[in-house]
């Protein structure tokens, strides 16, 4: 492999050795699962189980108490279920629902990459959980790990032929980029249950060290940028031809959110448009781009290993040349596209053939209690499918005219039509999971944002902005899972009860925000946001979005450098 960069040689990161020696992701996972003396697995196995969609976690609310009692942490596992394009059947929904009850913590988490997560699965139930997931013809393979993750796509295939075609291509890409190791089925599933034949025990695409880091792919269909395509390592933006059909895709590379506080070399980055390809070229383009990252991504420093840094270090021209060399042909020139928003459209939308779709607002994607019970009733009678959105909500898709009155009455009866009453702020809010399950959280997120939005709702109402869509996002740490750097108002956990506050991203996901205030205590947030909302209400130009306003009046000034995101104060981790 040729390397033109003048980089001093550095030792490979230890995970590279771990992968290489893992016999295609087996390592000691089986032994660790069989070890009944602990509720968790070893550090090394934890790195490898990610490739199988499994994370060891512990209930952080119980840590101090367990420590006092001299007990092991309250360990359990999170299983992430891959759902390409977010599409699943009512039967699959019912399986997830019942697994959450019987094997998890009773809740179902819809992620912002259109996947399911089961939390709180104890070790002794982990294998049977994954076996049941596979029995329902879903899987957890490559939902995490240094591979291509769940491929995202706008969830409404019935809106037009374009949507249906794009979803099909997204699924082809998802399949092509799946690891081929037999370890997954060996460890978790009885081989005879695998749909689609014998997997090979080699990795023609990835090799035995897989990718340097996680890799994410999304398909966007303008004018909706619901998938936040520019936050992805690889993106495809659908381009329409003169007849309204699918001409092809603009290809984007090098997006990502994650950074570390106080490490200015790390930063969020928006993807660049690389070129254009036709629908039949997409799978090859995706594969070749993955191989460029496989061969040139940084395997010495995992904080510098994402494709965004490869693109930044090598430059877009170099990346394009290398991709074209591998393809054996040249990409086309990028076409024009226009995004209007990143949000979901709630309630009923009419399809072309008399069918209809209802998007349910699910706060932060956490399906629990009455909502869970109601969706179970709907799943029992629904003949279409379910579609997980990239904003953590749920579309009940392709409801027939015959089924619509019943589904409608179930939605109303169970209060799932409540999005009509929510403010534009709440409808555009997103939080990552954070405490108590996420081991990396520095502050609350999913458990706190709804409460904060309730307080801010009063300010929004007072300012006359009830129906104004304003994108607000929160994460418990700077890894950026809730895509907070693409929020018009973003909060990023710094320490327990403290957040860095960001302003000024574009409503359509095409501009990152900038740091506005550092280490804001949660009780001061409303006092800081109130005058901003009032000023926006009084001084905005016609149609001006909050993020654009924040830039125009100089609340923040984007410089396009790492300084837009970092501050100098140290980070404190909770116990």
Q: Which of 49, 112, 181, 389 binds ligand SRM (CB under 6 A)?
A: 112
Interaction partner, residue 113 (ligand SF4, ligand SRM, none; CB < 5-8 Å by kind): ligand SRM
- Phi, psi (5° rounding) for residue 423? -75, 160
Asked if residue 453 binds ligand SF4 (CB under 6 A), the reply is no
Asked if residue 398 binds ligand SF4 (CB under 6 A), the reply is no
> Whose CA is closest to 218, among 391, 363, 50, 334?
391
- Phi, psi (5° rounding) for residue 254? 90, 25
3-class SS string, 53-122? CEEEEECHHHHHHHHHCCCCCCEEEEEEEECHHHEECHHHHHHHHHHHHHCCCCCEEECCCCCEEEEEEC
Nearer to ligand SF4, 441 or 471 (CB): 441
Applying CB under 6 A, which part among 34-42, 241-249, 254-262, 406-414 lies near ligand SRM? 254-262
Nearer to ligand SRM, 351 or 482 (CB): 482
* 240 to 73, 237, 249: CA distances (angstroms): 53, 10, 9
Q: Report d(CA 47, CA 276) in Å as an integer.
A: 36
Asked if residue 433 binds ligand SRM (CB under 6 A), the reply is yes
- Work out how close the CB of 37 gets to ligand SRM at its nearest, in angstroms, rounded to a whole number: 23
144 catalytic, yes or no?
A: no
Q: Please name the residue that has the structure tokens 């003048």.
A: 6
DSSP 399-419: E-TTTHHHHHHHHHHTTTTGG
Nearer to ligand SRM, 157 or 256 (CB): 256
216 catalytic, yes or no?
A: yes
Q: x/- binding map, residues 416-435, to ligand SF4, per CB under 6 A? A: ----------------xxx-
432 catalytic, yes or no?
A: yes
Interaction partner, residue 477 (ligand SRM, ligand SF4, none; CB < 5-8 Å by kind): ligand SF4
Number of H helices, E strands in the chain: 17, 20
326 catalytic, yes or no?
A: no
Q: Which of 52, 149, 163, 357 binds ligand SRM (CB under 6 A)?
A: 149
Asked if residue 304 binds ligand SRM (CB under 6 A), the reply is no
Q: Please name the residue that has the structure tokens 């409608």.
A: 408
Asked if residue 113 binds ligand SRM (CB under 6 A), the reply is yes
Q: Please name the residue that has the structure tokens 């990023």.
A: 492
Angle made by CA atoms 111, 113, 116, in degrees to the nearest 5: 40
Applying CB under 6 A, which part among 15-23, 66-74, 393-401, 430-438 lies near ligand SRM? 430-438
Q: Which of 141, 251, 411, 441 binds ligand SF4 (CB under 6 A)?
A: 441
Nearer to ligand SF4, 283 or 440 (CB): 440
Asked if residue 78 binds ligand SRM (CB under 6 A), the reply is yes
- Whether residue 290 contacts residue 205, with contact meaning beta carbons closer than 8 Å, is answered with yes
- Work out how close the CB of 477 gets to ligand SRM at its nearest, in angstroms, rounded to a whole number: 8
Burial 380-410 (b: 16+ CB within 10 A, else e): eebebbbbbbbbbbbbbbbbeeebeeebeeb
214 catalytic, yes or no?
A: yes
- Which residues in this chain contact ligand SRM in the complex, by CB under 6 A? 55, 57, 78, 80, 111-113, 115, 117, 149-150, 214, 216, 228, 231, 256-258, 306, 365, 392, 432-433, 437-440, 479-481, 483
Active site residues: 80, 149, 214, 216, 432, 438, 477, 481
- Which residues in this chain contact ligand SF4 in the complex, by CB under 6 A? 432-434, 438, 440-441, 445, 475-477, 479-481
């Amino acid at each position: 492999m040729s390397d033109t960069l003048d980089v001093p040689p550095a030792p490979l990161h230890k995970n590279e050795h771990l992968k290489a020696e893992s016999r295609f992701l087996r390592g000691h996972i089986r032994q660790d699962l069989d070890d009944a003396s602990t509720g968790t697995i070893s550090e090394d196995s934890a790195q490898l189980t990610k490739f199988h969609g499994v994370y060891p976690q512990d209930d952080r609310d119980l840590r101090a108490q367990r420590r006092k009692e001299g007990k092991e942490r309250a360990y359990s596992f999170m299983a992430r279920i891959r759902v390409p394009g977010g599409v699943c059947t009512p039967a699959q929904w019912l399986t997830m629902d019942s697994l959450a009850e019987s094997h998890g913590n009773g809740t179902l988490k819809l992620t912002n990459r259109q996947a399911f997560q089961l939390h709180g699965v104890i070790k002794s139930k982990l294998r049977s959980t994954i076996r049941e997931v596979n029995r329902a013809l879903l899987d957890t393979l490559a939902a995490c790990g240094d591979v291509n993750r769940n491929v995202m796509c706008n969830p409404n295939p019935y809106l037009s032929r374009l949507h249906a075609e794009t979803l099909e291509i997204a699924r082809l890409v998802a399949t092509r980029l799946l690891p081929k190791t037999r370890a997954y089925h060996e460890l978790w599933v009885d081989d005879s249950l695998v749909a689609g034949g014998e997997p090979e025990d080699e990795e023609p695409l990835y090799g035995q060290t897989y990718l340097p880091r996680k890799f994410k792919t999304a398909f966007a269909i303008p004018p909706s940028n619901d998938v936040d395509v520019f936050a992805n390592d690889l993106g495809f933006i659908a381009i329409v031809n003169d007849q309204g059909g699918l001409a092809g895709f603009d290809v984007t590379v090098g997006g990502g959110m994650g950074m570390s506080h106080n490490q200015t070399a790390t930063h969020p980055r928006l993807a660049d448009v690389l070129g254009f390809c036709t629908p039949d070229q997409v799978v090859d383009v995706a594969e070749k781009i993955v191989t460029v990252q496989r061969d040139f991504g940084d395997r010495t420093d995992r904080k510098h290993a994402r494709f965004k840094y490869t693109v930044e270090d090598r430059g877009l021209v170099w990346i394009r040349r290398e991709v074209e060399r591998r393809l054996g042909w040249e990409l086309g020139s990028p076409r024009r596209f226009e995004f209007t928003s990143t949000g979901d459209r709630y309630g009923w939308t009419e399809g072309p053939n008399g069918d209809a779709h209802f998007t349910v607002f699910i706060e932060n994607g956490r399906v629990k209690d009455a909502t869970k019970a109601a969706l179970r009733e709907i799943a029992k009678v629904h003949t279409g499918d379910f579609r997980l959105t990239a904003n953590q909500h749920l579309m009940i898709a392709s409801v027939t005219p015959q089924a619509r009155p019943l589904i409608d009455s179930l939605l109303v009866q169970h209060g799932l039509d409540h999005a009509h009453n929510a403010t534009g702020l709440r409808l555009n809010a997103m939080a990552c999971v954070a405490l108590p399950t996420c081991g990396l959280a520095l502050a609350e997120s999913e458990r706190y944002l709804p409460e904060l939005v309730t307080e801010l709702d009063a300010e929004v109402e007072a300012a006359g902005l009830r129906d104004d869509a304003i994108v607000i996002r929160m994460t418990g740490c700077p890894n950026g899972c809730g895509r907070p750097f693409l929020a018009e108002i973003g909060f990023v956990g710094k320490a327990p009860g403290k957040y860095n506050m960001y302003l000024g991203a574009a409503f359509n996901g095409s501009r990152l925000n900038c740091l506005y205030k550092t280490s804001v205590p949660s009780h001061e947030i409303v006092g800081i946001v109130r005058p901003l909302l009032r000023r926006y209400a009084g001084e905005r130009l016609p149609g001006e979005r909050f993020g654009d306003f924040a830039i125009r009046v100089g609340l923040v000034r984007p410089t396009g450098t790492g300084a837009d995101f970092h501050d100098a104060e140290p980070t404190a981790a909770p116990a």
